[in-house]
A and B are shown apart, each in its own frame.
Chain A
Amino acid sequence: MADIQGDKLRGHLETMVLSVLEQGEAHGLEVIRRLEERGCGLLKLKEGTLYPALYRLQDAGKIVVAREEKPASGRGAPRRIYKLSQKGKRYLARGREEWVQFANLMGSIIGAPA
């Protein structure tokens, strides 16, 4: 199966990020790792594109910065640890319902049931 990247990802990235944060709080690199793990290696996300999604989610109140961690080397900027907010949890639940409806609809139109 071909890698999933680019436009196929774009519309769903925020919901996917909320989903991996449901497992527990994480920094950006950890979010990427969880996405790749759940995607069984087929998901090819350019890591820089994660941050615009994180900022939009934070502006919308769906995620919050739980804390900041200093780097192990002691040099450089601290990294932010994100967690799901109550609003994010509700949005994720709605997102899952919408996805099931969407997948069923696409399946019935193109003749490939979800």
Chain B
Amino acid sequence: MNDTVTHELEVLVERSVRPVRAPFATKKRMREDLLSHLSSTFEDEFTKSDDETESLRLTRERFGNPVEISRELQQSVPRHHEFSCWFEQTLAQQPGESFLHLVFKHQMVAGIYFGLIAALGLVFQLHRGDPGLMLWVFGIIMIVSGLTGSMMQWLTDQMGRTLLNPKAQRSRRLKWRYGLLSLVIFPGYLFLNYLGLGFGPGIESLTPSREAYLSLPALALLGLLTVYLMGPKSAERTLYQEKWAGLDVAEE
């Protein structure tokens, strides 16, 4: 089976799977299963006819209508998986998505999460008579968390791409650059929070405690290890998504 046939089969698979709303792992499995099946079907037909074009036509016919298959695949996805699909798509960088859009998505998630906590705090009056300060605290943590989350996501992906492609130009320089950035991510998160909180209503000054300073090396190492260890897996996933998103599945 040559690359042209493989490409045609991949297009057929993607026509069925792309519209399905499901988590990444589920869709990956669907693609693997359908592609494996189509490859076997093609081999089966090619053995009988020895004609590539005819074998492809018969393979498509045996497979069925991709629109119908897509609908049935969607019905096979449990409803709660559709929610985790939304969550996944919101936090992970999608193919072709800009960094700014990623920041916006992370801010939205942080806003919902910390907004809910702040709302609960107001309802149960946990602010001890100073709701303005409580809202300021949650607001600062929300903004810094959203920025840090998106930065971590981007950095992990970029480091992963560099590690997966060690022979690429500038690879060594990029690894150093991303490594240094990863060292400052978590310490930066801590100090940005201190900085922001220090401007809160009724707060005269807020300086990091001794414990905060002592935690810096551990935070730096945590950032570096996270980016280095999770990078390849994150990049593999993004590259996989880019490959399938790049297929032109429009009907001729």
Contacts and interface: CB of A to CB of B under 8 A. Distances in A.
Given A51-B30, A51-B37, A77-B35, A46 B75 contact: no
A52 interface: yes
A34 interface: no
Nearest to A29: B40
B15 to A, nearest CB: 10
A48 interface: yes
Interface string B217-248: 00000000000000000000000000000000
B39 A71 contact: yes
Given A51-B30, A55-B76, A77-B35, A46 B63 contact: yes
Interface string A71-90: 10101111110000000000
Given A48-B16, A79-B37, A29 B44 contact: yes
Contact of B68 (A29, A47, A49): A49
Given A71-B36, A76-B35, A79-B37, A46 B44 contact: no
B1 interface: yes
Nearest to B81: A59
A80 B33 contact: yes
Interface residue range, chain B = 20 to 34
Instruction: Classify the secondary structure of A's interface with B.
Output: helix
Contact of B69 (A28, A52, A54, A56): A52
Nearest to B32: A77
B78 interface: yes
12 contacts: A27-B40, A29-B37, A46-B63, A47-B41, A48-B66, A49-B72, A51-B73, A52-B73, A55-B76, A56-B76, A76-B39, A79-B40
Interface of A: 27-29, 46-49, 51-56, 59, 71, 73, 75-80
